[in-house]
Amino acid sequence: MSTAQSLPYMQKQDPKMAEAVRGEENREATGLELVPSENYISQACHEALGSVFTNKYSEGYPGARYYGGQDFTDTIETIAIDRACKLFDCKYANVQPHSGAPANIGAYFALCEAGDTILGMDLSHGGHLTHGHPVTHITKSFNFVRYHMKNPDTGEIDYEELREVALREKPKLILAGFSAYSRELDYQKFVDIAREVGAYTMADMAHIAGLIAGKAVKNPFDYGFDIITSTTHKTLRGPRGGIILIRESEELAKKIDKSIFPGLQGGPHMHSIAAKAVAFKEALTPAFQDYAQQILKNAKAMEKVFLDKGIRLLGGGTSNHLLLADVYGSIGVTGQEAETVLDEVGITLNKNSIAGETRTMFDPSGIRFGTPAITTRGLKEAESTRVAELMIEAIINRENTAVKDRIRVKVKVLAETFPIPDSFV
């Protein structure tokens, strides 16, 4: 990773900012990142993000811009689009969304009219805020209805309920996707139900896009989904940004393009698009497929430790990159308490509500963690097992300073043994 010597201008002009950057760099280098939506990018991606493309306004699309001087912006956006289509086996891609939420919102407005119904997963059962939680502004434009897990202990989606709701509510769009769900979805059932009621199908694959790209899990396009939205960070290991993929419909692709610009956003972030293109090329390599498979292996290794210790996992375990543990129900420790003590020992994750939650969202029953970032650093099953053991030891001994100090040293040694790589190819 970059060093303090790479900040000469910032150090001279704004030393407080330089100090904060170095502090974060040290935190990442000496700790272990288990937030399942976080990862590390290559130095090639860093170079693209810090490039002169951040200076350029490029409203419009390649070959149809509203400003001059677009020779090289058209080049990088076209490359990014071509690589994204190859990576996910689709015909069209929009690489301009600034992040995952704008990608979802842009897709909604492309596919639906104001007041139309959208059917998505309930937040408390693993869905995302943008899938229709009442606190979001998007619920003022569309009518969101929800489906749930049939059994939180197995993770099985209640597809009978999903079909019943779809037949009753006649949604314009059926949404598959999640933020805190640890199993694979039955995409064929989503498509069958959508065809029965005449709805579009959209998969929000922000969390597992890298696993799809790496051919470690199923691709919704193989089952007839119309659209996939995603972030480009998380398991895809690119810059923070969004993307919308269209399986084959040119008509839908045109609607998506118009919805993102000028409908939702102004100038695209060309430096981010350049970095997306770099990440897509990295993800097209055999090494990335090995990486995606290792993410799953590491998650299963952590699953075994938690289950062996009698800690309840939502979904009964994991089939992807993340786990959701009911630490309050299992060992009487709240999600906030667990997050805090793990921060103290250098392990970062997030508190999370669980299905049937009885506590508040600010101090819920669960913790959510995953393996994308530690897998990037080269940890395999043995090290992932050790990390899980240290997590549980720290949570149980959260009031024992000596134990926490000892665990912090072990975490630091492990982090230094597996430094954050500069390159993945």
Ordered per-residue pLDDT tens for the chain, 425 residues: 544 457 999 999 999 999 999 999 999 999 999 999 999 999 999 999 999 999 999 999 999 999 999 999 999 999 999 999 999 999 999 999 999 999 999 999 999 999 999 999 998 888 898 898 889 999 999 999 999 999 999 999 999 999 999 999 999 999 999 889 999 999 999 999 999 999 999 999 999 999 999 999 999 999 999 999 999 999 999 999 999 999 999 999 999 999 999 999 999 999 999 999 999 999 999 999 999 999 999 999 999 999 999 999 999 999 999 999 999 999 999 999 999 999 999 999 999 999 999 999 899 999 999 999 999 999 999 999 999 999 999 999 999 999 999 999 999 999 999 999 999 97
Provide the Cα torsion 105, 107, 111, 116; round to 10°: -20
Interacting residues of 261 by C-beta distance below 8 A, sequence separation 6+: 59, 60, 61, 96, 268
Q: Is 204 a catalytic residue?
A: yes
Which of 19, 28, 38, 59 is catalytic? The answer is 59
Q: What angle do CA 357, 360, 363 make, to 5 degrees?
A: 105
Which of 47, 57, 86, 169 is catalytic? The answer is 57
According to DSSP, the β-strands at 366-370 and 200-204 are unpaired
Spatial distance between the Cα atoms of 230 and 37, rounded to a whole number of angstroms: 12
Element (H, E) at 196: helix 187-197
Q: Is 240 a catalytic residue?
A: yes
CB-CB contact of 381 with 301 (8 Å): yes
Q: Is 139 a catalytic residue?
A: no
Beta bridge partner(s), residue 325: 313, 367
According to DSSP, residue 420 is labeled P
Spatial distance between the Cα atoms of 383 and 264, rounded to a whole number of angstroms: 44
Q: Is 200 a catalytic residue?
A: no
Spatial distance between the Cα atoms of 379 and 319, rounded to a whole number of angstroms: 19
Which of 33, 77, 204, 326 is catalytic? The answer is 204
Spatial distance between the Cα atoms of 408 and 346, rounded to a whole number of angstroms: 6
Tokens 């009219």 found at:
113
Q: Tokens in use for 411?
A: 């975490």
Spatial distance between the Cα atoms of 78 and 99, rounded to a whole number of angstroms: 19
Candidate CATH numbers 3.40.640.10, 3.10.50.40, 3.40.50.1860, 3.90.1150.10; the one for domain 9-37+286-417: 3.90.1150.10
The residues spanned by each domain of the chain are 9-37+286-417, 48-283
Which of 73, 117, 130, 231 is catalytic? The answer is 231
Q: Is 399 a catalytic residue?
A: no
**Whether CATH 3.40.50.1110 fits 48-283:** no
Which of 146, 240, 255, 398 is catalytic? The answer is 240
According to DSSP, residue 234 is labeled G
3-state secondary structure of 30: helix
Spatial distance between the Cα atoms of 214 and 313, rounded to a whole number of angstroms: 26
pLDDT score recorded for residue 5: 53
Domains 9-37+286-417 and 48-283 share a fold: no
Which of 183, 234, 237, 408 is catalytic? The answer is 234
Spatial distance between the Cα atoms of 292 and 287, rounded to a whole number of angstroms: 9
Q: Tokens in use for 337?
A: 């308490």
CB-CB contact of 321 with 370 (8 Å): yes
